[in-house]
Amino acid sequence: MFGKIVFATSGAPDCDSAARVAFDMAGRYGSEIVVFHCLGIPGKGDSNLVLDVRTGEEVDPDEEYLEGVREELRTTYAIQLSACKNARIEIAVGNPSREVLRAARKEDADLIVMGARRAGVEVGGFYRRGVIGGTHRKVAKAARCPVLTVSRPAASFWGGFSNIVFATDFSKASQSAFKLAQSITRDVDGELHLFHCLDLDRLQSPIALTQEGIEGRLAEARRKIQVEYAAKLGDLAKRASIEVWEGSPYVEIVKFARERQADLIVMAHHTRNVDPDEGPDERPFGSTLEQVLVRATCPVVSVNRPDKLPEASEA
Amino acid sequence: MPEGIYCNKQPITTDEALKALLSDTRGKKYYEEMESLEVDREKLWSSIQKTMKSRMKTWLSVCARCGLCADSCFLYLVNDRNPEQVPSYKIHSTLGEIIKRKGDVDNAFMRHAMEVAWSQCTCCNRCAMYCPHGIDIGIMMGYLRGLLYSQGFVPWELKIGAGMHRVYRAQMDVTTEDWTETCDWMAEEQQDDWPGLEIPIDKEDADIMYTCNAREPKHYPEDLAEAAILFHIAGENWTVPSEGWEQTSLAMFAGDWEACKLQVQNVYAAIERLRPKRVIGTECGHAHRATVVEGPYWAGRPDGQPPRPYIHYVQWVAEALRTGKLKIDPTKRIKVPVTYQDSCNYVRNWGLAETAREILSYIVEPGYLREMTPNKEHNYCCGGGGGFNGIGKFRPQRNKALLTKRDQILATGAKLVISPCHNCWDAIRDLEEEYRIGIDWSFLKPLLIKMVVVPEHLKPKDDDGDA
């Protein structure tokens, strides 16, 4: 399904769940896997020193240091690497989000797998902007290929993906996400749950909304899902369901996924109005995807563009 | 030992030699070898006789050691008014001494001179503003650096930097392929948000040819994307050259005159090949000095000008705002206390102080600009100029040098420092990291993109979802 996976990792325990999913997928689908690590942010003007993204210390990225980092990654993922026929380690120096994107482009990756760093990790001001959240946001926004994020232990994945939730806001980007959800469902012979949440926060004050008004909109959204997605499913339709809820989209998506015991959520990033360079304090309350990433109990795959969607294998 | 394996008089000319020197972590062996590097006295003196022209001779001879330059030098002030940091002392005790002794100096003297040339002067040229004779110690220090470089007495990082220019015609190992690939990548990445945006490569007879700093494609390609977005909004007919795109010159910091010439000739060749109406350089101070102010002389251009009019980014921004090519949404103007860092290399050396203020008048809400004292042509160096930022050996001295800028910024009460120069940007970032004064810093491009009015026809057409 995904010929080449770039697994972007800090090498820290934060990425363990993502590692498990990435290597498991590579094994299951026979994918080539590139374990990619960006070790440091260039610092100090034109000097050769970089600031190690994990320790915050100034380091010299000479061959010896790079080999040390490689060795550490080899040790961290020793078991997975030994079980994986087609795996290699690549490291780079630069801004993490940029380097992950660069690697994905260079490798012509079909999928990027990332962990999401837990909130509350103590880091200096300089890094907070570049690494925490920002890395993920920038990669998810700009990548041409799908980005799979695993922020929590994904126990259900041991059985493979089978229960897939596709959450849509009917945007153009969601079209690409739908195609991806369709391909995956077909490929894993799973079930597909088409879901939309009527965003009450973005409508006029809920007090002013009558119950009839809400129900009317729900019915309209159901019809829209039917026309825009379900009608295009073909033979997959018999394994699909449609659901429309109202509330705050990220909460409802996570709740719905939990209720359906989903083991994968597919959605678009679609945050044109959010500037990834804004500091955390200036940011509007996180985008739906970001909140789903943080909260979902299963992996989440996002895609905005049609460029690198996997071809479903023969049904 | 006449010459070492790492530290010698030979310039770096191959990728292998570059990698070998880079493998010597922090230049440990390099500096060890430097301790026994022989001075070629004969060559040193003959080089001085050939290259030292009347201006420099006059400056050295008319300097009355009056000391009026002392207080002009931020390094003198920040080092507790140490007499050894008086600019005239710094040059007389080094270049002056070499000449007095007709080149008969030893290894220890040369290492001392190296320390003075690269850790006690950023070539900011501020002293020249206050000298009653107009003597410019910064220029002489640059000359001294050239002599030291030719003898192998140059900081490790700058030997590498100059080598990069010789091997890659860029301060970093960015090849033509890397560069063009980055242009394609950035154009592609932006096209969803900016339909029709392009980064045209090698377009002939365009209105603008844009040149940048190799650090942009290497580490911060967003900067190139931001330039493209602003040109796109302004409706400019522009291009970048596939070769000759790198405008900076670490070779100038190193005193590697030959590499300076090779570098600038590469840019000029691109101008002559593509015939743009004019050239615009990125937000970089020393790049402007190297390519526009000094470059024509290195390249031997008889009129002292680049092949086509060549302006700094702040000049283009001011013009675009003035002519309405870029319009600022008044509600989005900067509304936090903000100050402006005048880069020595395009303010003092190119007279763009008022041009920069013109930009500020458009983008800062009235009442929020807090000028540093002193400012404009009288502003102090960021503390990391002239290569100082990048030299590990002189880091403690550099960190101390940042204090002047830190105190200037603190006195303004500004929370944001606008700095259209990579070097200043780096120094301000580092001083924040070192001293934690709670400031932010930015180039112009990202600020402009946040507040510019996007014409309706340039906005993406697709729907944004209905929920």
pLDDT digits (tens, 9 = 90+) for A2-51: 899 999 998 888 888 899 999 998 988 889 999 999 988 887 766 778 88
Contact criterion met (CB < 8 Å) for B250 and A275? no
- Mean pLDDT, consecutive 10-residue stretches, chain B (467 aa), reads 91 96 93 97 97 95 95 97 98 98 98 98 96 96 98 97 97 96 96 93 98 95 97 98 98 97 98 98 97 97 97 98 98 97 96 97 98 97 95 95 97 97 95 94 97 93 52
Residue among B157, B189, B460 minimizing CB distance to A48: B157
Mean pLDDT of A64-81: 93
Query: Tell me, what's the pLDDT at A126?
Result: 37
Residue in chain A lying closest to B462 (CA): A172
What is the spatial distance between Cα B13 and Cα B260, in angstroms, rounded to a whole number? 13
For residue A103, give Cα distances in angstroms to A36, A37, A38, A223, A232.
Answer: 8, 10, 10, 41, 34
Residue A40 to chain B, least CA–CA distance (Å):
11
Contact criterion met (CB < 8 Å) for A60 and B26? yes
Helices (H), chain A: 16-29, 63-76, 78-83, 96-107, 125-130, 134-142, 172-188, 211-228, 249-259, 288-295
Contact criterion met (CB < 8 Å) for B171 and A46? yes
Residue A50 forms beta bridges with which residues? A42, A59
**What is residue B184's three-state secondary structure?**
helix
Residue B340 forms beta bridges with which residues? B418
Phi and psi for A187 in degrees, rounded to 5?
-65, -40
**What is residue B32's three-state secondary structure?**
helix
Answer whether the bond into residue A61 is a cis peptide, omega within 30°.
Answer: no
> Which DSSP category does B347 fall into?
I
Within 211-240 of A, beta carbons closer than 8 Å to B belong to 221
Across chain B, which distance is largest between two alpha carbons, in Å? 81
Contact criterion met (CB < 8 Å) for B23 and A62? yes
Which chain A residues are Cβ-neighbours of B395 within 8 angstroms?
44
A305 pLDDT band, cuts 50/70/90, is: confident
> Which DSSP category does B210 fall into?
E
**What is residue B101's three-state secondary structure?**
coil
Count of C-beta atoms within a 10 Å radius of residue B77:
16
Residue A153 to chain B, least CA–CA distance (Å):
30
Query: Tell me, what's the pLDDT at A122?
Result: 39
Query: Tell me, what's the pLDDT at A117?
Result: 63
Which chain A residues are Cβ-neighbours of B189 within 8 angstroms?
101, 142
Strand A50-52 with A58-59, pairing: antiparallel
Which chain A residues are Cβ-neighbours of B446 within 8 angstroms?
277
Q: Which residue has the higher pLDDT, A287 or A185?
A: A185
Contact criterion met (CB < 8 Å) for A270 and B23? no
Which chain A residues are Cβ-neighbours of B22 within 8 angstroms?
48, 62
Contact criterion met (CB < 8 Å) for A199 and B467? yes
Query: Tell me, what's the pLDDT at A60?
Result: 86
* pLDDT one-digit tens code per residue, A279-302: 433 444 347 887 888 788 899 999
> Which DSSP category does B83 fall into?
G
Phi and psi for A194 in degrees, rounded to 5?
-90, 125
For residue B378, give Cα distances in angstroms to B342, B356, B403.
Answer: 9, 14, 17
Contact criterion met (CB < 8 Å) for A42 and B219? yes
With beta carbons less than 8 A apart as the criterion, state whether A305 and A172 touch: no
With beta carbons less than 8 A apart as the criterion, state whether A33 and A21 touch: no
Residue among A46, A125, A126 minimizing CB distance to B157: A46
Which chain A residues are Cβ-neighbours of B433 within 8 angstroms?
124, 126
* Contact with chain B for residue A201, Cβ under 8 A: no
* pLDDT one-digit tens code per residue, A135-152: 887 888 889 999 998 887
* Contact with chain B for residue A248, Cβ under 8 A: no
Q: Which helix (H) or strand (E) segment is A192 a member of?
A: strand A191-199
How far does chain A reach from its first CA to its final CA, in angstroms?
13
With beta carbons less than 8 A apart as the criterion, state whether B305 and B278 touch: no
* Contact with chain B for residue A313, Cβ under 8 A: no
What is the spatial distance between Cα B264 and Cα B29, in angstroms, rounded to a whole number? 32
Which chain B residues are Cβ-neighbours of A126 within 8 angstroms?
429, 432-433
Which residues fall within 8 angstroms of residue B198, CB to CB, at 6 or more apart?
A: B187, B228, B232
Contact criterion met (CB < 8 Å) for B222 and A44? no
Query: Tell me, what's the pLDDT at A128?
Result: 36
Most confident of A110-119, A161-170, B362-371: B362-371
What is the spatial distance between Cα A265 and Cα A245, in angstroms, rounded to a whole number? 16
Q: At which residue do the structure tokens 């697994």 appear?
A: A7
Residue among B390, B433, B464 minimizing CB distance to A126: B433
Contact criterion met (CB < 8 Å) for A44 and B193? no
Residue A59 to chain B, least CA–CA distance (Å):
10
A274 pLDDT band, cuts 50/70/90, is: very low
Classify residue A274 by burial, with Cβ atoms within 10 Å: 0-12, 13-18, 19+. middle
Closest by alpha carbon to A91, among A125, A127, A62, A66?
A66
What is the spatial distance between Cα A177 and Cα A195, in angstroms, rounded to a whole number? 12
Contact criterion met (CB < 8 Å) for A45 and B171? no
Residue B205 to chain A, least CA–CA distance (Å):
32
Contact criterion met (CB < 8 Å) for A64 and B465? no
**What is residue B22's three-state secondary structure?**
helix
Residue among B389, B433, B465 minimizing CB distance to A45: B389
With beta carbons less than 8 A apart as the criterion, state whether B425 and B419 touch: yes
Contact criterion met (CB < 8 Å) for A95 and B220? yes
| Cα–chain center distance at A229 | 22
Residue in chain A lying closest to B395 (CA): A44
**What is residue A298's three-state secondary structure?**
coil
Structure tokens at B73: 């030098």
Structure tokens at A159: 């059985």
Contact criterion met (CB < 8 Å) for A272 and B463? no
What is the spatial distance between Cα B401 and Cα B352, in angstroms, rounded to a whole number? 24
Q: Which residue has the higher pLDDT, A278 or B8?
A: B8
Which residues fall within 8 angstroms of residue A205, CB to CB, at 6 or more apart?
A: none
Handedness of CA B90, B95, B96, B98 (dihedral sign): positive
Query: Tell me, what's the pLDDT at A119?
Result: 46
Count residue pairs from A and B with Cβ separation < 8 A.
Answer: 93
Contact criterion met (CB < 8 Å) for A45 and B427? yes
Burial A153-184 (b: 16+ CB within 10 A, else e): ebebbeeebbbbbbbbbbbbbbbbbbbbbbbb
Phi and psi for B352 in degrees, rounded to 5?
-100, 20
Residue among B221, B426, B464 minimizing CB distance to A171: B464
* pLDDT one-digit tens code per residue, B199-248: 999 999 999 999 999 999 999 999 999 999 999 999 999 999 999 999 99
Is a pLDDT exceeding 80 seen at residue A310?
Answer: no
Closest by alpha carbon to B426, among A97, A47, A94?
A47
Closest by alpha carbon to B432, among B463, B405, B460?
B405
With beta carbons less than 8 A apart as the criterion, state whether A100 and A115 touch: no
Best interface-test mutation with B: which of A46, A175, A227 has the largest number of B CBs within 10 A? A46
Handedness of CA B178, B183, B223, A39 (dihedral sign): negative
A271 pLDDT band, cuts 50/70/90, is: low
Contact criterion met (CB < 8 Å) for B221 and A44? no
Structure tokens at A280: 């955390």
Q: At which residue do the structure tokens 């390609």 appear?
A: B221
What is the spatial distance between Cα B334 and Cα B336, in angstroms, rounded to a whole number? 6
Contact criterion met (CB < 8 Å) for A45 and B464? no
User: Residue A155: which region, alpha, beta or left (left: phi > 0; alpha: psi -120 to 50)?
Assistant: alpha
* Mean pLDDT (chain A, rounded): 83
| Cα–chain center distance at A49 | 31
What is the spatial distance between Cα B408 and Cα B8, in angstroms, rounded to a whole number? 40
Best interface-test mutation with A: which of B192, B193, B248, B454 has the largest number of A CBs within 10 A? B192
Within 88-107 of A, beta carbons closer than 8 Å to B belong to 94-95, 98, 101-102, 105
Closest by alpha carbon to A126, among A36, A57, A65?
A57
Residue among B23, B160, B253 minimizing CB distance to A63: B23
pTM to 2 decimal places:
0.91
Closest by alpha carbon to B20, among B5, B32, B4?
B5
Residue B157 to chain A, least CA–CA distance (Å):
6
| Cα–chain center distance at A303 | 8
Which chain A residues are Cβ-neighbours of B390 within 8 angstroms?
44-47
Contact criterion met (CB < 8 Å) for A98 and B219? yes
* Contact with chain B for residue A108, Cβ under 8 A: no
Could you give the ipTM of this predicted complex?
0.88
Query: Tell me, what's the pLDDT at A155?
Result: 59
Contact criterion met (CB < 8 Å) for B22 and A49? no
The dihedral over CA atoms of A106, A107, A108, A112, expressed in degrees to the nearest 10, equals: -110
Q: Rounded to the nearest 10 degrees, what angle do helices B422-435 and B395-412 cross at?
A: 90
> Which DSSP category does A262 fall into?
-
Residue in chain B lying closest to A42 (CA): B219
